[in-house]
Chains A and B, each alone.
Chain A
């Protein structure tokens, strides 16, 4: 039927188009606490919890448990302020992570699944929420009554800040001790300014600490002269939280250098990337030679390379042990580095440093590798090939092969695991009562968002330990939605590119931000691409007449004739059992994993038996 294109002929409903762009901004109104009241149900049923886990992949992938679809929907509705708040609820540094997050959510995004195109630029939208929130935006905090408990947090890195904020919100009296002059940890001393402007960082850090968190910078905890003893802190405070992260570079293991000496530290033009960056951000002037070699495969390595280019290096090469495929850095980051002129060469491990008579480095000796067995997190082992050594000449060598924790600050007996990290139990506590630890200090070098997530998690655990009961429960909040907010046409919008600083001007200085951020139009367009996976489409089987009108308009293989459903041992749903045999079809059911929330079925259902609900994770105070 050619004439039957578009529109809804079958269904009982009239489409009401939502003119997203013409919505007014509600974020102020939010801050006055007036909300449209809608009926709500809170559920802890494993099937609902499981649904959220299965169907909101971005949130599931996020270590900080960020409610991604909710904040993207707010962007759609032009409520950047609200969007920022939803972000801030999960992680107190949205503006920061909006720039430098490792984006596990985007790898998980349903829009990136086979046949669905490219993932939504979730991170760029997070930044947009931070950048575009109204100038007069007010932060909302729901505070518990003061508990009278005192907590010391050691280290003002992402984990420490996140924990400190949540703890003080929970009514405790928190003090942070930080050895550096500025709070932020790796955020301040590790990440170059062209990726993370310092004013963004400091504003969000200060906001996080505004609930009366005491910040004592330049204070070292340790056994040395004029250093605060951990043991004394344990006496003065009800609880102490260690979030000192991994601030020590892992030394370069060179052949024949097993006498414990670290040759690398003895050669002038060889540096550890971590120190290189830290010193740079402490304000020291750093220089590099014409040809810079970087060994290592993490963000630090890439940062070193890109900083070197800005310091005037002519040829920068990153040497990695495996291959690009397997290094834990976002593809964008790699592409930008290459675009700026960095070369990345794979399958090689440094085995020796070549120096001239004056003791300066002239080249690095590498051995050729081949790929070996798989390691955790999709990484690969590199197996050196005997006798395949070769020499790469260079003027500066920057080593960024990893970081580790520093435990010599502990003056009390704490159980360590075999990597020398402190061990923590289920309740987040070390073997020492009242001494908690979290972040990289526990799991080893990881990402910022993991640190924030852990900090937040541990804060709750400390609260539970201190108060003797759980005061915050994770439940599913279910609200009805009147009609679909999306249109099929949204699915064809291409990913919106992040506006970049032109190549010419990038290298002028070290602080010029390379990514410019979305403007309102770009953000809205990108936000439209989000499937809003937290919207759940359900068929009321009692009213279904099995007419398949919904199936006919379905854009994908998303509505199915079902005879059964698997139940996982945790009580959540598994795969649907489909059938085409009429006398076995028990129900027509929407496979929410295939569903892209286009709303076509909703419009055509003759018996109006399709309902939409908003399903979100909600932390209930109890």
Chain B
């Protein structure tokens, strides 16, 4: 028997939503993803997060590659850079290196990130570039109309895996943990509240933060990573989970059948820009930050 919810009164809700000012982070044009796409929760999540963190529109750059998710910058009212397939992280690194003050957010899908762009992730992670990487994992190629992806589950049938996908899917969370990402979390597009909360933490984190977002493709995956299945599968991290405990994080990351949502791992360590400053100092020069202080 369905439970009875508190009444929703439209004008009150509208006042509340419009009052927050998060809508101002949206562009004017409506997103063009398939209706129902998990990526819509990205717009809601990121806009709310930027709003909660009170970041100025002009100080935010969103970088994307090729793929469905990469259209995101067009739906935001911030700086955006729509680069090439899989080549997002180098661009983002360059931007962050050139300007400390910018908040750089990279968005991409599983194909863009782990297939063609796979070679770039480990290096962005171990250098601890102070950027946020939002990876929307839908386990399939959407823009090329449905081919198998590196995170596709085994047995997944696509046009390019007509005899079922035989390759074991990547475990991105374990990869990122072992690559040395200093902040690793997981969220689910079907739970927008938590997603927003985690994006806030990821951006707030100083260093390379990786948020893995389970985001169903409603057009090309009707069997495996669907909302129906995920609704039943996902769970929150145990209340006693310690994000500083790599082993615990790994254990959670290993569980792909009932994905754990929340912050798996967090550590503080010098970012790429920090080390750049140190090298500058070691070479006897003046780091940009200090020069700024003098001026």
| A interface with B by C-beta (< 8 Å) | 1, 4, 9-14, 36, 38-41, 43, 45, 47-48, 478-482, 538-552, 562-565, 567, 573, 580-587, 589, 604, 606-608, 611-613
Contact = CB atoms under 8 A, between A and B. Distances in A.
Contact of A606 (B1, B3, B36): B36
A14 B228 contact: yes
A64 B152 CA distance: 62
Given A39-B1, A542-B13, 13 more contacts: A11-B228, A12-B228, A12-B231, A48-B7, A538-B8, A549-B218, A551-B35, A552-B36, A565-B14, A581-B28, A582-B27, A586-B23, A604-B36
B2 A482 contact: yes
A169 to B, nearest CB: 30
Contact of B40 (A12, A547, A552, A567): A547
A543 B9 contact: no
Given A543-B192, A584-B23, A548 B35 contact: yes
Nearest to A611: B5
B242 interface: no
B36 A583 contact: no
A540 to B, nearest CB: 6
B4 interface: yes
A481 B4 CA distance: 9
A471 B1 CA distance: 32
B216 A583 contact: no
Nearest to B226: A9
A545 B41 CA distance: 5
B26 interface: yes
B227 A562 contact: no
A146 to B, nearest CB: 36
A479 B2 CA distance: 9
B4 A607 contact: no
A479 B4 contact: yes
B1 A38 contact: yes
Given A543-B193, A545-B40, A586 B3 contact: no
A43 B4 CA distance: 13
B192 A607 contact: yes
Contacts of A10: 35-36, 218, 227
Interface string B171-197: 000000000000000000111110000
Contacts, number: 139
A283 to B, nearest CB: 57
B289 to A, nearest CB: 35
Contacts of B11: 564-565, 567, 573
B77 interface: yes
A233 B38 CA distance: 76
B142 to A, nearest CB: 12
Nearest to B26: A583
25 contacts: A12-B231, A40-B4, A480-B5, A538-B8, A540-B8, A541-B13, A542-B13, A547-B33, A547-B35, A547-B37, A548-B30, A548-B36, A551-B35, A552-B35, A562-B10, A563-B14, A563-B18, A573-B11, A582-B27, A582-B30, A585-B23, A586-B17, A586-B23, A589-B10, A606-B36
B190 A607 contact: yes
Contacts of B287: none
Contacts of B281: none
Contacts of A583: 23-28, 77
B118 interface: no
A549 to B, nearest CB: 3
Nearest to A540: B8
A551 B34 CA distance: 11
Nearest to B192: A545
Contacts of A38: 1
Given A480-B2, A546-B44, A583-B26, A47 B9 contact: yes
B151 interface: no
B190 A478 contact: no
B128 interface: no
Contacts of B227: 10-12, 606
B192 A582 contact: no
B251 interface: no
B23 to A, nearest CB: 5
Interface of B: 1-5, 7-11, 13-14, 17-18, 23-31, 33, 35-38, 40-41, 43-44, 75, 77, 189-193, 216, 218-219, 222, 226-228, 231
B68 to A, nearest CB: 13
Nearest to A548: B35
A545 B189 contact: yes
Contact of A549 (B9, B35, B191): B35
A468 to B, nearest CB: 33
What are the nearest 9 A-B pairs in CB distance? A549-B36, A10-B36, A547-B40, A480-B2, A552-B35, A39-B4, A583-B26, A545-B41, A586-B14
Q: Which of B10, B25, B189, B222 has the most CB of A within 10 A?
A: B10
A580 B40 contact: no
A47 B75 CA distance: 35
B104 to A, nearest CB: 22
B274 to A, nearest CB: 36
B219 A1 contact: yes
Contacts of B27: 582-583
Nearest to A48: B7
B257 to A, nearest CB: 19
B218 A582 contact: no
Contacts of B2: 480-482, 611-612
B31 A582 contact: yes
Nearest to B41: A545
A192 to B, nearest CB: 49
A40 B5 CA distance: 10
Nearest to A609: B192
Contacts of B17: 541, 586-587
Contacts of A538: 8
Nearest to A605: B36
A606 B38 contact: yes
Contacts of A562: 10, 14
A227 to B, nearest CB: 57
B3 A480 contact: yes
A396 B266 CA distance: 101
Contacts of B40: 545-548
B10 to A, nearest CB: 5
A545 B17 CA distance: 13
A582 B77 CA distance: 11
Given A10-B35, A540-B5, A580 B30 contact: yes
A604 B40 CA distance: 15
B34 to A, nearest CB: 8
Contacts of B10: 562, 565, 573, 587, 589
Contacts of B29: 582
A173 B186 CA distance: 72
B39 to A, nearest CB: 8
A422 to B, nearest CB: 44
A613 B41 contact: no
A540 B13 CA distance: 10
A4 B28 CA distance: 30
A567 B12 CA distance: 11
Nearest to B8: A538
B4 A547 contact: no
A552 B33 CA distance: 12
Nearest to B220: A1
Nearest to A542: B193
B213 to A, nearest CB: 12
A549 B226 CA distance: 14
B43 to A, nearest CB: 7
Nearest to B39: A547
Contact of B218 (A9, A41, A608): A9
Contacts of A48: 7
A25 B20 CA distance: 52
